[in-house]
């Protein structure tokens, strides 16, 4: 039997439960827009360790273990439930087993947790996952997920944000907001759905070709444009730091580059000033290749499974070059969590940040979407309560 947590008292009616909480970056973004955490749940003890290092109040609301182990008594009544569920089986780089895969099937655990809430369903839902969610199994997985939310009473609205609009990291993610309502905006879809960076062609086409899903599309502002570049998040390590790779290892990386990428590296090395790029190793035609990116934006942070997901920094100029992994602090900055406390080994930190959400992207969603919908729901609820309170007393006639 599970243990009922001593949930904190509500400081605000803008409360949320964070499922698949990881290291807590969803919380960081929401709290910056005045949302109050009531429940956090995750199954990974190493991520929980990082979470607890940053949130001393975790004893009051963190529930360890599988989402299916949560009892109804352990799920508080909240306004918003978030689910950044595992992407392994939905990612283009993963197994593509979809929502029936070993990891991404955890989505159905989230649905079951909502079902156990019964009459205390949250007014709002926020899903987050890779953009491959949209195309998994020819779109059937995304369709099934949207119908599942519809069946619980939610009208849904998907959109895509790229972390590069906020921080110097290329990280496109698909978000879905669900609003518990009997209304939908299906009739006005053609007018609302214009191709934009937030709702690109593939997403618009999916929505228009699935009119049987109960959509509730909201017009969103254009995405911001971040002036930050890779150099703004780098730690200033001396050239003799132990973090830089030895010469033979750095030379081996250069040897893994294709002629085009090697030419880019050689130009950087020959330049009069130092410049920086990032490198990922990828398997191309059965061969491990090193791919260099030099546009001032880091590649998408990933979990370091088998070492291939660890992003490499390439510094070159004055006829020299240096190579090292991105540090945990640099990864934190790429996720918009600049001051995050990091007191764990390298790989544990990289796993934590690789599976997390971009904090300023979550804050943008809260400010431009969740808060506006909540304000409307709150105003409607207050009007309804006032109307009820002011109803004249009527004497009931006795028979």
- What residues of the chain score a pLDDT lower than 70? 1-12, 88-89, 91-104, 184-192, 305-309, 384-399
Q: Work out the angle at residue 78's Cα, subtended by the Cα atoms of residues 73 and 81, and round it to the nearest 5 degrees.
A: 100
Give the residue from 17, 331, 359 showing the smallest Cα distance to 161: 359
* pLDDT for the residue numbered 52: 98
pLDDT digits over 169-206, tens only? 999 999 999 999 877 665 556 566 889 999 999 999 99
CA–CA gap between residue 363 and residue 378 (Å, rounded): 20
* pLDDT for the residue numbered 227: 84
CA 303 → CA 101, 184, 279, 349, 371, distances in Å? 18, 38, 15, 9, 31
For 113-135, b/e burial (b = at least 16 CB within 10 A) is bbeebeeebbbbbbbbbbbbbbb
CA–CA gap between residue 53 and residue 294 (Å, rounded): 34
pLDDT digits over 131-168, tens only? 999 998 899 999 999 999 999 999 999 999 999 999 99
Dihedrals phi, psi of 22, to nearest 5 degrees: 60, -130
Read off the pTM: 0.90
Around 161, how many Cα atoms within 13 Å sit in the side-chain half-sphere? 29
Residues paired with residue 291 on neighbouring β-strands, in sequence order: 280
Residues paired with residue 36 on neighbouring β-strands, in sequence order: 15
Other Cβ atoms less than 10 A from the Cβ of 59: the count is 10
* pLDDT for the residue numbered 391: 55
Q: Could you write out the DSSP letters of every residue in 317-376?
A: ETTEEEEEEPPHHHHHHHTT-TT----S-HHHHHHHHHTS--HHHHHHHIIIIIHHHHHH
CA–CA gap between residue 229 and residue 278 (Å, rounded): 12
In which residue are the tokens 């409360």 written?
15
* pLDDT for the residue numbered 381: 72
Homologous superfamily of domain range 15-225+358-379: Vaccinia Virus protein VP39 (3.40.50.150)
* pLDDT for the residue numbered 393: 45
Give the residue from 88, 82, 123, 115 showing the smallest Cα distance to 103: 88
pLDDT digits over 68-89, tens only? 999 888 899 999 999 998 776 5
CA–CA gap between residue 188 and residue 157 (Å, rounded): 13
Q: For the chain, which residues make up each domain, given as ranges?
A: 15-225+358-379, 236-326
For 240-262, b/e burial (b = at least 16 CB within 10 A) is eeeebbeeeebeebbebbeeebe
How many Å separate Cα 64 from the centre of its chain? 20
């Amino acid at each position: 039997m599970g243990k009922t947590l001593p949930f904190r008292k509500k400081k605000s009616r803008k409360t949320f439960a964070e499922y698949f909480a990881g290291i807590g970056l969803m919380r960081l973004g929401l709290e910056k827009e005045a949302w109050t955490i009531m429940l956090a749940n995750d199954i990974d003890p190493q991520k929980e360790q990082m979470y607890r290092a940053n949130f001393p109040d975790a004893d009051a609301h963190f529930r360890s273990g599988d989402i299916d182990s949560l009892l109804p008594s352990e799920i508080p009544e909240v306004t918003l439930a978030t689910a950044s569920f595992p992407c392994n089986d939905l990612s283009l780089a993963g197994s593509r087993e979809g929502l029936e895969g070993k990891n991404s099937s955890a989505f159905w655990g989230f649905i079951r947790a909502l079902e156990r809430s019964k009459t205390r369903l949250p007014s709002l839902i926020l899903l987050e996952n890779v953009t491959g969610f949209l195309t998994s199994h020819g779109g059937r997985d995304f369709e099934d997920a949207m119908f599942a939310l519809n069946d619980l009473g939610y009208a849904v609205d998907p959109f895509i944000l790229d972390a590069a609009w906020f921080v110097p990291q290329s990280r496109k993610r698909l978000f879905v907001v669900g609003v518990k309502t009997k209304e939908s905006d299906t009739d006005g879809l053609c007018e609302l759905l214009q191709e934009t960076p937030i709702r690109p062609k593939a997403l618009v086409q999916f929505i228009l070709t699935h009119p049987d899903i109960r959509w509730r599309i909201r017009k969103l502002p254009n995405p911001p444009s971040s002036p930050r570049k890779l150099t703004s998040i780098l730690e200033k390590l001396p050239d003799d730091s132990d973090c830089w790779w030895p010469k033979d290892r750095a030379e081996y990386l250069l040897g893994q580059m294709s002629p085009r990428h090697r030419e880019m590296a050689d130009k950087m090395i020959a330049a009069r000033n130092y410049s920086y790029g990032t490198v990922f190793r990828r398997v191309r035609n059965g061969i491990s290749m090193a791919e260099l990116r030099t546009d001032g934006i880091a590649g998408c942070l990933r979990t370091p499974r088998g070492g291939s997901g660890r992003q490499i920094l390439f510094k070159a100029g004055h006829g020299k070059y240096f190579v090292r992994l991105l540090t945990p602090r640099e990864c934190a900055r790429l996720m918009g969590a600049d001051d995050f406390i990091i007191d764990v080994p390298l790989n544990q930190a990289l796993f934590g940040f690789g599976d997390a959400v971009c904090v300023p992207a979550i804050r943008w969603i809260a400010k431009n979407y969740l808060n506006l919908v909540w304000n409307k729901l709150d105003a409607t609820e207050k009007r309804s309560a006032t109307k009820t309170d002011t109803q004249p007393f009527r004497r009931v006639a006795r028979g």
